[in-house]
Amino acid sequence: MEYIAAYHTDVGISKKTNQDSLALKVVETKKGKVAFAIVCDGMGGLSKGELASKEVIMAFSDWFDNTLIDDINAQGINEERLVSQWNDIIQTQNKRLGEYGEKNNIMLGTTVSAILLFNDDYYIVHVGDSRVYCMTDKVLQLTKDQTFIAREIAAGRMTEEQSKTDPRRSVLLQCVGASQVVEPEFVKGHAVKDAVYMLCSDGFRHQITEQEMIEKIGPDKVKTEQDIEFGCRYLTETVKNRKESDNITVAVVKTA
């Protein structure tokens, strides 16, 4: 599998700091190319959200550079080992950030959404309400929002239309750093060629439609990294023009 990848992140129209963080890596190994993307959204209402998101990004980046590549070169990817490693990172960061918050009398936390693409498979780890999508001729959301709103909709106590204006729209059921217990969602699936795998913070998706995503960064629209970056910037500016107040981050990996 071949990959092209690009990203865009923006502080948005109302916040002074960008509490989103991300990493995007495409590396050649002895057994083929591997792509990894991760987006973390530091909690906007919590202090030091940018610290939380960057710490988690750094931990995953260190794992990718110093553990994963060696594992792939030696034996490929073992799903059980991968899930264990990812869970260890998240539990360690949750404990570290929680202890830092207690020591400094603050609360800080972050979402985590990451995807690893290798050969014919993808692997996802997810906490919170950032999202991972797959775009072909349609848009498929690969993660489930871990939010109060999503839980109420699933239970039939709220409609999609009601959720758009509900003041509890940003309330998370769990996040890394501000939850005593974190239970990540792990997903494995078949990676398809000529697809776009997109990760985004919630600020990116509130003010645009899935059709608009396909029209600007769908697989038929992006042939180069420059195409991806242009599409991401265009959609970000669209979101800002529609008065989205949050930080905005999107990362894209196109398969070929």
* DSSP code per residue over the chain: --EEEEEEEE-TTT-SS--EEEEEEEEEETTEEEEEEEEEEB-TTSTTHHHHHHHHHHHHHHHIIIIIHHHHHHH---HHHHHHHHHHHHHHHHHHHHHHHHHHT----B-EEEEEEETTEEEEEEESS-EEEEESSSEEE-S---BHHHHHHHTTSS-HHHHTT-TTTT-BS--BTT-SS---EEEEEE--SS-EEEEE-HHHHTTS-HHHHHHHHSTTT-SSHHHHHHHHHHHHHHHHHTT--S-EEEEEEEE-
- pLDDT confidence of residue 85: 98
Q: Is residue 246 a contact partner of residue 201, using CB atoms and an 8 Å limit? A: yes
d(CA 12, CA 245) in angstroms, rounded, equals 6
**pLDDT tens for residues 135-191?**
999 999 999 999 888 888 888 888 877 777 777 877 899 999 999 999 999 999 999
Sorted by where each starts, the structural domains of the chain and their CATH numbers stand as: 3-144+175-255 (3.60.40.10)
User: In the predicted model, what is the mean pLDDT of residues 108-129?
Assistant: 97
Burial call 117-147: b when 16+ CB within 10 Å, e when fewer: bbeeebbbbbbbbbbbbbbeeebeebbebbb
Q: What is the pTM of this model?
A: 0.95
d(CA 70, CA 147) in angstroms, rounded, equals 36
Sole residue written with tokens 């959609």: 235
- pLDDT confidence of residue 55: 97
- pLDDT confidence of residue 160: 79
User: In the predicted model, what is the mean pLDDT of residues 120-133?
Assistant: 97
**Residue 231 phi, psi dihedral angles, 5° rounding:** -65, -40
- pLDDT confidence of residue 14: 92
Report percent pLDDT > 70 for the chain. 98
Tell which residue, 108, 130, 125, 8, has the closest CA to residue 54. Answer: 108
Q: Is residue 129 a contact partner of residue 111, using CB atoms and an 8 Å limit? A: yes
CB atoms within 10 A of CB 200: 27
- pLDDT confidence of residue 47: 65
Q: Is residue 22 a contact partner of residue 40, using CB atoms and an 8 Å limit? A: yes
**pLDDT tens for residues 186-198?**
999 999 999 999 9
- pLDDT confidence of residue 46: 67
d(CA 8, CA 232) in angstroms, rounded, equals 6
- pLDDT confidence of residue 42: 96
- pLDDT confidence of residue 170: 75
Token pair of 240 as six digits: 């800002």
- pLDDT confidence of residue 25: 98
CA 57 to chain centre: 11
- pLDDT confidence of residue 150: 84
Residue 44 has pLDDT above 80, yes or no: no
